[in-house]
Amino acid sequence: MAKRKGPFWARTAVVLGAVLMMGAGASIAGTHWLVSSATGSISQDTLITGGTRKAPSAGGGNIDGPVDILLMGVDARKRLAEDALHADTIIALHIPASHDQAYLVSIPRDTKMKVPAFAKSKYPGGTAKATEAFFFGAQNGGGYTGGAQLLTQTLKINTGLTFDGAAIIDFSGFKSVIEELGGVKMCVDQRVKSHHMKLVDGKPLYLAEARQAGGTKQDIWYEKGCRQMAGWEALDYARQRYGLKNGDYDRQRHQQQLIKAIAKKAASGGVLTNPFKVKNLIQAAGKAFVLDTGGVRIEDFIFGLKGVAAKDMVLLRTNNGTFAGAGDGSETITPKSMEMYDAVRRDRLSQFILANPDVVAKEK
């Protein structure tokens, strides 16, 4: 697979930063300098195959119309074995043809789906959870790209969604980005205990490390209310699902909130209007992941998506934000959510939301 380099949201920071620079009166030459100096660290690979790339008739192949990008989150601690990875987070980023809004639509990881045969990983086909489709595609040398390719094929068969691009995100890779930003504001809507970390003599450690460490150990609790969080806190909070009222659905919403919080913080405080701060932000991202832009140049994203801002990012709920069980531990997609996916595909999401305002996740 391709060498992992700059992450998707760091790339998005470049795009938004260049746009804001232009709006602030920066020269076109300066903008191109910023792009060229930053994009050299971004690696691309083919994550979308098998007819899952959006067709030209639906606006695919350029960004003049609606743009749909699949975000797949993986757990960095499992990177020692790429063929053991699952896509713990599956989010469709939809930007309508008007380019004045951005929507984050989650697809529940435990949704039971028909998974097609996949020669690259020697998977014969069958029925599995969405998160397992990525796992089966990564087997037998399929790796990250195989996992993404099989997942996108699975999503097309079961939801009808196709994509202009895709990114495999390591959420832990956001830690350095958040620290470069000086933390982000997160709103905790229900008290929850961390099931992944403990404080050891005041230092946050993963449970496996904490068990082996000496010193005073303390549970980590996230109390209700809005506050500034450090990188490790924001990421750990967004990973919790046990102990939450709606389990993984609350986690999906919290991860959407984290993405929006990073984008909002990057867009404030003069970060994106300063090319040197943008460069530091990209370098801070450090940990890489795989990106597929469908052959569209990053410069085209800059000029084509200049109307999108972090404040225009809308978080949407699948299955009304609650578990829709299939009776065997997996889930199904409700008819209403299937209508929402269809609205994404047809670029009629704003009309769907007007008719179904309850799909918008409430934010503090």
Where are the domains positioned within the chain? 8-182+273-359
- Tell me, what's the pLDDT at 322? 76
Question: Which residues of the chain fall short of a pLDDT of 70?
Answer: 1-43, 75-85, 171-173, 269-276, 278-289, 297-312, 324, 326-327, 363-364
Sign for the CA dihedral angle at 240, 242, 244, 250 comes to: positive
Handedness of CA 178, 70, 44, 151 (dihedral sign): positive
* Dist CA 119 CA 123 (whole Å): 6
CA angle 90, 362, 360 (to 5 degrees): 60
Give the per-residue pLDDT at 29: 45
Residue with tokens 């998160």: 131
Q: Please, which residues bridge with residue 127 across strands?
A: 114
- Do the bridges between strand 313-316 and strand 203-206 make them parallel or antiparallel, or are there none, so unpaired? unpaired
pLDDT value of residue 301: 58
Residue showing tokens 């995100």: 169
Are 26 and 277 a contacting pair, CB within 8 Å? no
**pLDDT for position 323:** 72
| CA angle in degrees (0–180, nearest 5) for 78-84-90 | 80
pLDDT of residue 265: 81
Question: 109 to each of 42, 129, 145, how far by Cα in Å?
Answer: 27, 7, 18
3-class secondary structure, 195 = strand
**316-352 pLDDT tens trace:** 988 877 776 766 777 889 999 999 999 999 999 999 9
> C-alpha distances in angstroms, 218 versus 197, 279, 299?
9, 37, 48
Q: What is the DSSP letter of 230?
A: -
Written in H, E and C, the secondary structure of 279-325 is: HHHHHHHCCCECEECCCCCHHHHHHHCCCCCHHHEEEECCHHHCCCE
Give pLDDT, residue 21. Answer: 36
d(CA 19, CA 285): 20
Q: How far is CA 176 from the centre of its chain?
A: 16
The pLDDT of residue 12: 46
Q: What angle do CA 105, 110, 113 make, to 5 degrees?
A: 90
- Give the count of beta carbons closer than 10 Å to the beta carbon of residue 350: 14
pLDDT of residue 22: 34
Q: What is the pLDDT of residues 120-164, one digit of tens each?
A: 999 999 999 999 999 999 999 898 889 999 999 999 999 999 999
CA-wise closest residue to 43 among 72, 5, 11: 5
Given a contact cutoff of 8 angstroms between Cβ atoms, the answer to whether 288 and 43 are in contact is: yes
Give the domain 8-182+273-359 fold: Nucleotidyltransferase; domain 5 (3.30.420)
Q: Which helix (H) or strand (E) holds 155?
A: helix 143-159
